[in-house]
């Protein structure tokens, strides 16, 4: 049995694991890389395996960093089934075409710029049409039900409590000669925290041979956030933003986070803790996702509260670009919840461009911001940022509220792993930046033998037997070295340098000083080239 890690290795995106057993090739997740440009570039390259050779794909959940390359996989020749829960399939039916649309738009903008510079045009990773095409391959399966994914290979979904329809996957492989007991693998997918607003606690089997576990927040210890505490913190942020009389801009994942915020904001209005105010959900994806959530309301805790909030009189789901633009002309206090959650794409960039330079505005981050994203750059205190080619001063208050995490924190991950014991073989830590992985490994060291914890690197391949795993040479060299993953890359350094140069030149008292500084910088570049 072979397991190759084709993504989410020392970084939080691009989840994709290839399991080869009894002649079957099965993928667990096929996610998009979303971090720095160096990582995102991987999305454009060929897969490190032949899509045609893949027999089936088992999908843990609909988040793009787990599902986002399925359309490309299909376009490049994969024609097998995609197994997921019904809710995950429903969410993919809106999220994947949306992702295709974003790829097309981004490439369109890039090509216009390339044309002006006489550069060659590029193709999108996939189109909305490619995404729609792959949806016919989805085969929904209920939680707790075994399904066959290959020869002598079956799988079962367990509720991961991370997102509507999210699952951990148990995989059981019998030996080709049917001798001995089968080998059991368990893939965590993404694990939800305790007290999650719309989801229950994560579940899983006891006793596995090998465990592949996410480590997104492995180095983080959050105090338990009870629902009252969470609403109290949100109330304080909203009242503070309201007192400044500007907009409260909330970059938010369209799926689940937006619906959670809506439930809490509406709850605060209902209880009289905050006054009713205009609330705009300005994201076509969030609008569609909310409809899917309403359809699955019965499967969620607080599902009915969500339906009530969606129908509240000051809540508006905008659709057209005109409606979105008209929000931009509003003054006075109002709340705009818009995507994407890390400010990398979507309508949120227009709202940020519109409000970041104004003191009366507040930007409230409510989700994980990966290294290198605009959201992270703002959180790290940048005074200027570039949005759509324009330089914007940051005068708005940048706040962050870490109480809506969809992820378990370090202690919760450790206790989730504890519940899977006995673990006969190895624990592979994935889906986390290096610090997070080290943090989780540290927590596990008191209860697990140190040698049993492994940190796979990108495209690393392991030969597994019931209680051991050894690295074997992968058929292809790794696409990126570990040091290039989960890091700020040179693109971020360059944009920071350009802003610093601009600052320094402007600070010079007169024309002469400015010219002198520009000459010095030019000389430094020329000397640099000769080095
Ligand atoms: Zn996720």
Q: How far is the CA of 89 from the centre of ligand 1 (A)?
A: 14
Mean pLDDT over residues 338-363, rounded? 94
Q: How far is the CA of 195 from the centre of ligand 1 (A)?
A: 17
- Which tens digits make up the pLDDT trace of 366-400? 988 877 789 999 999 999 999 988 999 999 999 99
| CA within 13 Å, CB half, 343 | 30
Q: How far is the CA of 298 from the centre of ligand 1 (A)?
A: 21
Give residue 488's pLDDT: 57
Share of the chain above pLDDT 70, in %: 97
Crossing angle, helix 284-295 and helix 257-270, to 10 degrees?
80
Q: How far is the CA of 518 from the centre of ligand 1 (A)?
A: 46
Q: How far is the CA of 10 from the centre of ligand 1 (A)?
A: 16
Q: How far is the CA of 216 from the centre of ligand 1 (A)?
A: 10
**Cβ contact 246:337 at 8 Å:** no
Residue partners of 280: CB distance under 8 A and separation at least 6: 316, 318, 327, 334, 335, 336, 337, 338
| C-alpha separations of 130 from 49, 92, 142 in Å | 20, 13, 26
Residue partners of 108: CB distance under 8 A and separation at least 6: none
| Helix residue ranges, H only, 79-226 | 86-116, 128-134
Q: How far is the CA of 434 from the centre of ligand 1 (A)?
A: 18
Phi-psi map region of 388: left, alpha, beta (phi>0 left; psi -120 to 50 alpha): left
Give residue 530's pLDDT: 59
Q: What is the CA radius of gyration of the chain?
A: 24
Extract the tokens encoding 253: 């994942």
Q: How far is the CA of 407 from the centre of ligand 1 (A)?
A: 8
DSSP 486-502: SS--HHHHHHHHHHHHH
- Which tens digits make up the pLDDT trace of 83-104? 999 999 999 999 999 999 989 9
**How far apart are alpha carbons 364 and 70 in whole angstroms?**
32
- Which tens digits make up the pLDDT trace of 289-321? 999 999 999 999 999 999 999 999 999 999 899
Extract the tokens encoding 507: 């600070």
Residue partners of 259: CB distance under 8 A and separation at least 6: 198, 289, 290, 293, 306
**Cβ contact 153:2 at 8 Å:** no
**How far apart are alpha carbons 283 and 316 in whole angstroms?**
11
Q: How far is the CA of 270 from the centre of ligand 1 (A)?
A: 30
pTM above 0.75, yes or no: yes
Kind plus residue range of the DSSP H or E element containing 350: helix 348-355
**How far apart are alpha carbons 417 and 403 in whole angstroms?**
22
Q: How far is the CA of 497 from the centre of ligand 1 (A)?
A: 33
Domains along the chain with CATH numbers: 2-221+406-484 (3.60.15.10), 227-400 (3.40.50.10890), 490-530 (no CATH)
**Cβ contact 30:39 at 8 Å:** no
**Cβ contact 125:99 at 8 Å:** no
Q: How far is the CA of 502 from the centre of ligand 1 (A)?
A: 38
Share of the chain above pLDDT 90, in %: 73
């Amino acid at each position: 049995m072979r397991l190759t890690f084709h993504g989410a290795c020392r970084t939080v995106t691009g989840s994709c694991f290839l399991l080869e057993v009894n002649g079957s090739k099965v993928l667990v997740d096929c996610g998009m890389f979303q971090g720095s440009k160096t990582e995102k570039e991987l999305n454009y390259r060929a897969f490190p395996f032949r899509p045609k050779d893949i027999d089936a794909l088992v999908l843990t959940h609909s988040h793009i960093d787990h599902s986002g390359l399925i359309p490309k996989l299909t376009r490049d020749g994969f024609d097998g089934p995609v197994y997921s829960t019904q809710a995950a399939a429903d969410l993919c039916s809106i999220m994947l075409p949306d992702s295709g649309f974003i790829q097309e738009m981004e490439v369109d903008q890039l090509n216009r710029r390339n044309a002006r510079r006489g550069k060659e045009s590029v193709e999108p990773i996939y189109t909305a049409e490619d995404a729609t095409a792959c949806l016919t391959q989805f085969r929904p399966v209920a939680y707790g039900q075994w399904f066959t994914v290959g020869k002598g290979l079956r799988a079962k979904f367990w509720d991961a409590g991370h997102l509507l329809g999210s699952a951990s996957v148990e995989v059981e492989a019998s030996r080709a000669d049917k001798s001995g007991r089968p080998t059991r693998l368990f893939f965590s997918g993404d694990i939800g925290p305790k007290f999650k607003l719309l989801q229950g606690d994560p579940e899983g089997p006891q006793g596995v041979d090998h465990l592949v576990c996410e480590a997104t927040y492995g180095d983080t210890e959050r105090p338990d956030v009870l629902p009252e505490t969470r609403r109290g913190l949100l109330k304080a942020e909203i009242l503070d933003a309201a007192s400044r009389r500007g907009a409260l801009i909330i970059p938010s994942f369209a799926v689940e986070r937006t619906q959670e915020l809506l439930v809490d904001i509406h709850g605060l209005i209902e209880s009289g803790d905050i006054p009713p105010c205009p609330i705009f959900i300005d994201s076509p994806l969030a609008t569609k996702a909310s409809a899917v959530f309403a359809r699955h309301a019965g499967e969620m805790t607080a599902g009915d509260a969500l339906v009530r909030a969606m129908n509240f009189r000051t809540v508006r789901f905008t659709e057209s670009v005109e409606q979105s633009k008209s929000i931009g002309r509003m003054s006075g206090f109002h709340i705009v919840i818009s995507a994407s959650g890390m400010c990398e794409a979507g309508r949120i960039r227009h709202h940020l461009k519109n409000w970041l330079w104004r003191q009366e505005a507040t930007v409230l981050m409510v989700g994980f911001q990966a290294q290198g994203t605009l959201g992270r750059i703002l959180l790290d205190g940048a005074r200027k940022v570039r949005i759509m080619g324009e330089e914007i001063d940051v005068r708005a208050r940048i706040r962050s509220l870490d109480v809506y995490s969809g992820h378990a924190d370090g202690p919760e991950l450790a206790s989730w792993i504890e519940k899977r014991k006995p673990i006969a073989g190895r624990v592979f830590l994935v889906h986390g930046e290096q610090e997070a992985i080290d943090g989780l490994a540290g927590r596990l060291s008191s209860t697990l033998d140190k040698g049993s914890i492994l940190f796979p690197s990108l495209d690393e391949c392991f030969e597994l037997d019931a209680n051991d795993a050894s690295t074997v040479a992968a058929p292809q060299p790794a696409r990126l070295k570990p040091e290039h993953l989960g890091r700020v890359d040179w693109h971020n350094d360059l944009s920071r340098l350009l802003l610093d140069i601009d600052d320094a030149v402007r600070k010079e008292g007169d024309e002469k000083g400015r010219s002198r500084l520009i000459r010095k910088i030019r000389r430094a570049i020329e000397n640099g080239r000769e080095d």
